[in-house]
Amino acid sequence: MSFFHRRNENQSNARIHNGAQLITVMHPKSPISEQFRTLRTNINFMAIDHPIKTLALTSANASEGKSTVTDNLAIVWAQTGQKVLLVDADLRRSTLHRTFNLDNREGLTTILTSRAHTIDLNTIIQPSGIDNLSLLPSGPTPPNPAELLSSQRMKDFLKAARERYDMVIVDVPPMLVVTDTQVISRDLDAVVLVVKQGQTQKLGAKRAVELLKMAHANLLGYVMNDVVSDGSAGYGYGYGYGNDGDDE
Ligand SMILES: Nc1ncnc2c1ncn2[C@@H]1O[C@H](COP(=O)(O)OP(=O)(O)OP(=O)(O)O)[C@@H](O)[C@H]1O
Ligand SMILES: [Mg+2]
């Protein structure tokens, strides 16, 4: 399709080539995997009054661990036996196809740009190799991601996906860099902010919270993604819920 342009600057980052680390698959009994299960439980607790079927994790800036947290959360969710669809809606720095070694010639952008009246999602959604977890890669990088994500077609897709799956978890871009997440977050049941300890500036996190509120997103709280600096353990996650972005 000639109207899709691949953006060279997106290819420069090594982690985009490598994808996210699936620690919940590699080390399911590790404390980190247990923390992802706790995160899942906490989100479930917050869904009592308003069921959460579509969820995204975002962050203030790039490279704060969104894809890592999103993918591992989707895996532990699928492990409960619920049918989960993991969608790569980070159309600028997509990683899902690399993480799970998928063909990315067709994906979300195929659905959003198709002129067909109906489109069979089964032909585009791919199995993950993990029970109950299905995957929708980004598809080719479009020139107009925010426009596609705010389209009626995106709303229709989310509606169809939530009818078919128990949980739809969406990987999205950071808040302060592009407007994509703002435009999609109002159509999702809930959003969680990923904060990387030592990296996310307090002002940045506060601004991200403001932007989510302006978009009328249902912000559940934040996940602290903490890289251990001595290099021995590698990971650590913590959580917080409430209005921490309001603090001065
Ligand atoms: N807690 C952690 N400990 C160690 N490394 C981590 C941790 N979280 C993420 N990383 C690593 O940091 C890099 C960025 O993570 P990830 O791709 O998940 O971030 P992102 O916010 O999705 O980035 P982007 O903005 O490019 O989409 C990856 O190489 C990932 O493996
Ligand atoms: Mg990412």
Q: Is the pLDDT of residue 31 over 80?
A: yes
Instruction: Kindly state the average pLDDT of the residues 98-119.
Output: 93
Q: Which of 237, 205, 206, 219 is nearest to 73 (CA)?
A: 237
Instruction: Kindly state the average pLDDT of the residues 239-245.
Output: 44
Backbone angles phi, psi at 170, to 5 degrees: -120, 130
CA separation for the pair 159, 55 (Å, rounded): 13
The residue whose CA has the least distance to atom 9 of ligand 1 is: 65
* Tens-digit pLDDT profile for residues 200-209: 788 999 999 9
Q: What is the pLDDT of residue 226?
A: 72
Q: Is 63 in the pocket of ligand 1 (CB under 6 A)?
A: yes
* Tens-digit pLDDT profile for residues 166-201: 999 999 999 998 999 999 999 999 999 999 877 778
* Average pLDDT value over all residues in the chain: 85
* Tens-digit pLDDT profile for residues 36-52: 999 999 999 988 888 99
Residue 20 vs residue 238, higher pLDDT: 20
By percentage, how much of the chain surpasses pLDDT 90?
73
CA separation for the pair 148, 112 (Å, rounded): 6
Please state which CATH number belongs to domain 8-246: 3.40.50.300
19 alpha carbon – ligand 2 mean position (Å):
8
The residues spanned by each domain of the chain are 8-246
CA distances for 20 relative to 66, 114, 149, 195, angstroms: 9, 29, 23, 17
